[in-house]
Amino acid sequence: MKNKMSFPLQEGEARPSRCPDNSAFKQQKLPAWKPQLTIATVLSGFFLIGAFCLAAGVCLILSAKSVREIQIDYSDKCSDCSKLRENSSNWNKECHCSINFTLEEDILDDVFMYYGLQNFYQNHRRYVISRSDAQLLGRNVNIKKSYCAPFTTYQNGTPMAPCGAIANSMFNDTIELFYNLNSSTIQVPLLKTGNSWWTDKNVKFRNPKSYNLSSAFAGTARPPYWQKPVYLLDEEDERNSGYINDDFIIWMRVSAFATFRNLYRRVRRIGQFVNGLPAGNYTFRISYNFPVTRFKGRKHVILSTVVWSGGSNPFLGIAYVVTGTAATLTGFVITAIHLKLRKKKTYFQKQ
């Protein structure tokens, strides 16, 4: 490695200065405010923060408790279907079960239906990255070079659409809700679109461009655990099929915890359900397709309302209460220490 050549300064030539310019900014002479941490300002800060966090926490907890929610575990109630689904050779056989329940009071306003999974870990690194975002944008990509392995292609070379472990494990139970009024049974109208995030639906997911969906996905095959190809996810509405299907989009946003819930449907407020769900007898009819016994999981279906702070989740309120309590206790401890030291100082001054 050659050394850089240095040239001596000529006679009378000044050495260039490396000092910063003599400006207020570069010389750090701009006006600034430095807080004076007196005992009064410190204690008032702790007590104000404590009071604010306690008030906000109480409001959030009360708000979460005002949410109307009913949760039904159907893992054991559909035990026959569960045994059928544990045998993978029965993938093409249908199995249905019904669960009756009663609403003692009306559930007013918007009612949301969720499916919940317990002991299903989506936070493993290999699982989280097992997807192709380029493929989900409708681009023609070589998924063999993606992180989708081993769910990339079949032995004959046919690529999977969509690829990856997340898509392959998509929740595929079908849940319907019926209202039992006297001797008649009324199906509760449910909305299956408009449930995903706008950015996901319009930015992160796209179908391949073609004159129809079946030709757009020509030359591809469904994932191994799916019962039908991606372009038939919603046979009634092509605008909700393929990669832009709401159920698929919601499933692709993985959870950080082993127990989670995903939005499945919303009650359409028309007819007898214009104000929500009236009190009475109801029935869930479930087409059981998603096995959970092998990983000791549980499945739930949840009906819930929402409030200004969200759903029935008191965690944020509890966190605020804990933070406010800690800040208030710290303020009292500092006050006690200050009074004790001030008494000692006064005592020694008198001596």
Mean pLDDT across the chain: 89
Ramachandran region of residue 182, left (φ > 0), alpha (ψ -120 to 50) or beta? left
Q: Phi first, then psi: what are they for 141, rounded to 5°?
A: -125, 160
pTM over 0.85: no
What's the one-letter identity of residue 152? T
- ∠ CA 314-315-316, rounded to 5°: 95
In the chain, where the domains are located: 69-309
Confidence of residue 85 (pLDDT cuts 50, 70, 90): confident
Query: Could you give the CA distance from residue 241 to residue 255 in angstroms, rounded to a whole number?
Result: 23
The pLDDT of residue 311: 84
154-181 residue pLDDT tens:
999 899 999 999 999 999 999 999 999 8
Share of the chain above pLDDT 70, in %: 93
Is 351's pLDDT higher than 70? no
Residue 106 DSSP SS3: coil
The pLDDT of residue 61: 94
The pLDDT of residue 145: 87
127-161 residue pLDDT tens:
999 999 999 999 988 888 889 989 999 999 899 99
270-325 residue pLDDT tens:
999 999 999 999 999 999 999 998 889 999 999 999 988 888 888 999 999 999 99
Query: Could you give the CA distance from residue 150 to residue 137 in angstroms, rounded to a whole number?
Result: 21
Is 7's pLDDT higher than 90? no
Assigned token pair, 259:
């127990």
Query: Could you give the CA distance from residue 33 to residue 39 in angstroms, rounded to a whole number?
Result: 18
Cβ(229)–Cβ(219) under 8 Å? no
pLDDT (average), residues 213-242: 92
The pLDDT of residue 309: 84
